[in-house]
Amino acid sequence: MPAQYIQIEKRPPLAVVIMDRPCVHNALGVAALAEIDAVFAQLREDPDVRVILLTGAGDRAFASGVDVSDLNSLSPRAGATFFLRAQETFRHLEMLGKPILACIRGYALGGFWELALAATIRIAADDARIGHPEVKFGLTAGYGGIQRLPGIIGRNAALRLLLSGESIDAREALRIGLVEEVVPAAELMVRAEQLALTIAGNAPLAVQATMQAVNELLDWRADQAMLRESERFGRLCGTEDKAEGTKAFLEKRKPNWKGR
């Protein structure tokens, strides 16, 4: 079946994976998860691909999160199940064995920004805006971001992003270590390809072993922690605040929180 939301451009030894829904700033819903899993599984087994670039179609967004209309209808059980599956998909990316370079332009928000957190390296255009707005919908980050973010930028910086729901610009993201490099928007893919080709020019078994060693050091408790993260997300899906937060967003008004 042809992909509906994800496109692949192969340029051996590289492949470019594009989240392709620019009409809604590359917001991706439940149906996109299976495509993401299938695309990266295909690239994992492709001997011609050594490094993968991940980006969003258009020039306004890397990814603007999950469709809020999908969130609005999630029950506690469905919420926990969906986000556990999403965590597994993103974990597959993180443990793929091939470097993934996230190329971030425009808005990078919420659940599908967490794709970039699971990537190996993040390069941002100077017009990028990055954030975790989940608390504005009465929810938490649910794709493993709560586990990855403190390891990338530290506990307090992670809490500032997660609790405020505010977005930051590319320079601030670079300052706190959320991205590794910032370049002019017009140069984003050129610079990413340069770095990808440098990595692809090294011994593939050595690159793979290096990634495995780093992942083993940093993620020895990740699976248990992510399970708890999905359970918390599921519980929040049953609250009045979650129903109000998603409804308020869709109705373009300020939410009226009840704390229950």
Q: What is the pLDDT of residue 73?
A: 67
> How many structural domains is the chain composed of?
1
Catalytic choice (114, 172, 216, 231): 114
pTM: 0.83
**Which CATH number covers residue 141?**
3.90.226.10
Instruction: Choose between 186 and 239: higher pLDDT.
Output: 186
Q: What is the pLDDT of residue 96?
A: 93
Task: With a cut of 60, say whether residue 26 has pLDDT above it.
Answer: no
Q: What is the pLDDT of residue 71?
A: 65
Instruction: Choose between 81 and 138: higher pLDDT.
Output: 138
Answer yes or no: is 53 within a domain.
yes
Instruction: Tell me the residue range of the domain where 100 lies.
Output: 1-184+203-260
Q: What is the pLDDT of residue 213?
A: 81
Catalytic choice (35, 94, 134, 229): 134
Confidence of residue 68 (pLDDT cuts 50, 70, 90): low
Answer yes or no: is 210 within a domain.
yes
Confidence of residue 226 (pLDDT cuts 50, 70, 90): low
Answer yes or no: is 34 within a domain.
yes
Answer yes or no: is 193 within a domain.
no
Answer yes or no: is 190 within a domain.
no
Find the mean pLDDT for residues 26-34: 70
Q: Is 99 left (phi over 0), alpha (psi -120 to 50) or beta?
A: beta
240 as an active site residue: the answer is no
Find the mean pLDDT for residues 115-133: 94
Answer yes or no: is 189 within a domain.
no
193 as an active site residue: the answer is no
Answer yes or no: is 195 within a domain.
no
